[in-house]
Structure 1
Amino acid sequence: MRIFPLITAAIVSVALFFLVFQRDKLLSFATGDTKGDAPATAEQTAAALPPSQANGEGAERRVSVLVQHSTAQLVDNAILARGRTEAARQVEVKSETAGLVVSEPLRRGAYVSAGQPLCVLDMGTRAAQLKEAQARLMEATSRLPEAQARLVEAKAKLAEAEINGRAATQLSQSGYASDTRVAATTAAVETAHAGVSSAEAGVTGATSGIRSAEASVEAAEHEIARLTLLAPFHGLLETDTAELGALLQPGSSCATVIQLDPIKLVGFLAETDVDKVSVGALAKARLASGREVLGRVTFVSRSADPLTRTFRIEVTVTNEGLTIRDGQTAELTIATTGKPAHLLPASALTLDDAGQLGIRAAGADGRATFMPVSLQRDTVDGVWVDGLPETVDVIVVGQEFVVDGVALDVTSRDTAIGAGQ
């Protein structure tokens, strides 16, 4: 039996034992330092304990932490949205009648005022048609006095016939007139009534003729007015007006006019944000050029886009000098109703075992507690969070080394800063 392998295995086992389980003593022995084996003195033990335990006030171990006393502040929220600029109004001016353009064209980019002529069409035979309508109106107007005179004459004959009829009736009752005379006077009265009705119809016909002639005159004048195409509002020409000599048909385009002052900023909000925005809310926009403008929300859509399920909003902004162009990219920041929040260092945020975002706070009983929060906004001074009480002592140093219910040795940040100074 070989004994040397057994002895070698025993020596290796002892060496491993000392290396693993008695490493500190082995190093002390190797360096000649024997102080590590001496038991700690009472003073050293007391110095290693927190003040409350060193003085014998309690056996519970407390963890030293730094807290910040925070009070909630009313903070304005804001919603971000991507959008674009859009002309307040854009109209393509089109012809309502046919004709040749007889006016010199205006070039794109020109500023036009409301009511300014853009395209003028050739008069053609429309002036003659107007004169003809006016002549018919004069003729119809001249017939009315004659018809009215006939009505007066018919009414006079009716009155005479009625008087003769009454006289014949009375004489017949006294025996001085025959029944034949009474019948004749009655027939004369009916004839007079028919004459009055005919005269009234003549007056009505003459009046209708006048109205028809007036309508013809008005139609001719309106047709002539259509020959001049006017700018509907103050704005810029987006296209050239129709060229001289061009033939315009009903529906043909003369020019496109856009209004850029004021200008609209159009954005789209998600379903979760649209209820937070109301008409009249203040909004700020940053254009692609870096320029910032202010305006107010003037429209919030009640119907979602069928494809994106987003809601259109419009912000109206003044555009003096027309420096903002139609179609520019804009980043909208819309103010919403403010709510209480706490401004805390970002380092104070932590996660619980379930992965929920929150902070560790020092309770009134001197123990740590976890409080969930919702992140509102990130700034250079810290983060704004909500979901906390109005006042809270937030652990800003040491929160990662405590759990709920751990006793704390609390130091206020203000006290620590004062002591440092």
Structure 2
Amino acid sequence: MRIVPLIIAVVVAAFMYLFIIERDTLLAFASTDDAVEETTDVTAETTPEITQTDVVRVVAVHSAARNIDSAVVVRGETEAQRQIDVLGETTGLVISEPLRKGSFVTAGQVMCEIDPGTRGAALAEAKARLAEARAGVPTAAARVAEANARLEEAKINDNAASKLSQGGFASDTRVAATQATVRAAEAGVASATSGLESARAGIQSAEARVAVAQKEIDRLTIFAPFSGLLETDTAETGSLLQTQGQNGAHCATIIELDPIKLVGFVPETEVGRVQIGAMAGARLASGQEVRGDVTFISRAADPATRTFRVEIAVPNPELTIRDGQTAEIIIGAEGKAAHLLPQSALTLNDHGQLGVRIVSDENMAEFVPVVALRDTIDGVWLSGLPDKANVIIIGQEYVVSGVPVEASYQEHNE
């Protein structure tokens, strides 16, 4: 029966331990239970029905449009104004001294000369045949005149015989004979006329042979068609220039670099903003900056890239700009009204269209499509907005068109 007092002693000792040693823990536990019960009661009594907030708070800026120079930027390259492979039109050995590549040649300067060979003799023969043909013309003309005279005589005799026959003074046989003589005279006139035409045709044929022989001699000297730089050496002395089918024999290659062209390809969305005569500039890969005017805009798009070729003429009097250099080209275009806004203000609507959200006069959110014109370190220039707009820059992702908003405005530094 001693176990009961022992149990009571243990319980009392535990209670005394908690009350004295763990007093703080015990009080905290007791207060937590009371707070939970009280909070439960208060919540049950005071929590109202939760409703959606009607007005969304956003941050916006007052933005005004400004006119900016809306340039078209494309990448391209330099291209020679003209480049041609000068070809020989006849076969023969080169007898001229070669001009070395890099040399400057002027229009009409001799580049290659070919040995004439027997071409001079062929020309002389053609001229002799022409003189012979011309000498035959007077003889043929005399024959025509003689034939015409005989025809006139035959007609007179025929006329006289016919009248005598009517009066009974000439026989029908004589009339028939005079008529036959007229027919023979007419045939003689035709023959003489044909001989004259043949002589004249012989003259034309001889003149053609002379022209061919002269042209063949003219082809012996090859001239520069325009002023420019030699990109290759001219044909070496003693080398054989030989035409192959319709392809001529190569004498040299000339390029014209003043003025030089800048060639770029403008997208179809931008080509309408480029005009003939517009100012343009470019920075070459070497760092050199050049300026010129737009001289050509293609009317047909490249079928593969759907871009349009644009050419810009740039003065190059010192020939410092070479053919084929990479260039970043900026073409001046008509200015546009645009807003400078932070890039973070841009958003997309449900159709994936780029735009911004603004605060309307009725304090409602509205979506406005925009076009990005230029990206800078201060922001992006956008067109498509009204001249003055209150643009939401914070919170635009949490509202849609027609939602009431309460905007607080920040200072906008443009």
TM-score range, shorter chain: 0.7 to 0.9
Determine the structure 1 residue equivalent to 2:294.
296
Tell me the alpha carbon deviations over residues 89-117 of structure 1, each in whole angstroms, 9 at most, x when there is no partner. Answer: 11111111111111111111111112211
| Equivalent position to 1:120, from 98, 113, 121 | 113
> TM-score normalised to the size of structure 2?
0.78
Q: Does 1:89 align with 2:78?
A: no
Which secondary structure does the structure 2 equivalent of 1:321 belong to? coil
Q: Does 1:108 align with 2:101?
A: yes
Q: State the distance in 1 between where 2:35 and 2:285 align.
A: 68
Q: Work out whether residues 126 and 209 of structure 2, in 8 Å CA contact, stay in contact via their aligned partners in 1.
A: yes
Q: Deviation at 1:77? A: 2.6
| Equivalent position to 2:342, from 346, 349, 359 | 346
Which secondary structure does the structure 1 equivalent of 2:75 belong to? strand
Gaps of 5+ in 1: 21-59, 415-421
Aligned length: 371
Q: Work out whether residues 58 and 406 of structure 2, in 8 Å CA contact, stay in contact via their aligned partners in 1.
A: no
Q: Does 1:287 align with 2:289?
A: no
Determine the structure 2 residue equivalent to 1:313.
310
Q: How does 1:204-283 map to 2 (within 5 A)?
A: 204-250=197-243, 251-274=248-271, 276-283=273-280
Determine the structure 2 residue equivalent to 1:390.
387
Q: State the distance in 2 between where 1:87 and 1:297 align.
A: 14
Q: Determine what percentage of the aligned residue pairs are the same residue.
A: 50
Q: Which range is displaced more, 88-97 or 128-137? A: 88-97
Q: Which range is displaced more, 294-303 or 270-279? A: 270-279
| Equivalent position to 2:157, from 145, 158, 164 | 164
**Per the alignment, do residues 369 and 150 of structure 1 end up closer, same or farther by CA in structure 2, a change over 3 Å counting?**
closer
Q: Work out whether residues 81 and 333 of structure 1, in 8 Å CA contact, stay in contact via their aligned partners in 2.
A: yes
Determine the structure 2 residue equivalent to 1:68.
62
Determine the structure 2 residue equivalent to 1:177.
170
Q: How does 1:380-419 map to 2 (within 5 A)?
A: 382-394=379-391, 404-408=403-407
Q: Work out whether residues 67 and 394 of structure 1, in 8 Å CA contact, stay in contact via their aligned partners in 2.
A: yes
Q: Work out whether residues 57 and 395 of structure 2, in 8 Å CA contact, stay in contact via their aligned partners in 1.
A: no
**Per the alignment, do residues 261 and 19 of structure 1 end up closer, same or farther by CA in structure 2, a change over 3 Å counting?**
farther
Q: Work out whether residues 55 and 404 of structure 2, in 8 Å CA contact, stay in contact via their aligned partners in 1.
A: no
Determine the structure 2 residue equivalent to 1:193.
186
> TM-score normalised to the size of structure 1?
0.77
Q: Does 1:146 align with 2:144?
A: no
Letter in 2 for 1:346: P
Tell me the alpha carbon deviations over residues 17-57 of structure 1, each in whole angstroms, 9 at most, x when there is no partner. Answer: 8999xxxxxxxxxxxxxxxxxxxxxxxxxxxxxxxxxxxxx
Q: Work out whether residues 84 and 328 of structure 1, in 8 Å CA contact, stay in contact via their aligned partners in 2.
A: yes
Q: Deviation at 1:300? A: 1.7
Q: Work out whether residues 305 and 311 of structure 1, in 8 Å CA contact, stay in contact via their aligned partners in 2.
A: no
Q: State the distance in 1 between where 2:272 and 2:171 align.
A: 97
Q: Work out whether residues 368 and 406 of structure 1, in 8 Å CA contact, stay in contact via their aligned partners in 2.
A: yes
Determine the structure 2 residue equivalent to 1:32.
none
Determine the structure 1 residue equivalent to 2:72.
79
Q: Does 1:322 align with 2:319?
A: yes
**Per the alignment, do residues 15 and 243 of structure 1 end up closer, same or farther by CA in structure 2, a change over 3 Å counting?**
farther
Tell me the alpha carbon deviations over residues 242-263 of structure 1, each in whole angstroms, 9 at most, x when there is no partner. Answer: 1111111113211001111222
Letter in 1 for 2:174: R
Q: State the distance in 2 between where 1:279 and 1:236 align.
A: 29
Q: Work out whether residues 114 and 232 of structure 1, in 8 Å CA contact, stay in contact via their aligned partners in 2.
A: yes
Q: Work out whether residues 283 and 297 of structure 1, in 8 Å CA contact, stay in contact via their aligned partners in 2.
A: no
Q: Deviation at 1:379? A: 3.4
Tell me the alpha carbon deviations over residues 62-96 of structure 1, each in whole angstroms, 9 at most, x when there is no partner. Answer: 979674351x3444433322211111211111111
Q: State the distance in 2 between where 1:112 and 1:140 align.
A: 44
Q: State the distance in 1 between where 2:183 and 2:346 align.
A: 110
Which secondary structure does the structure 2 equivalent of 1:304 belong to? coil
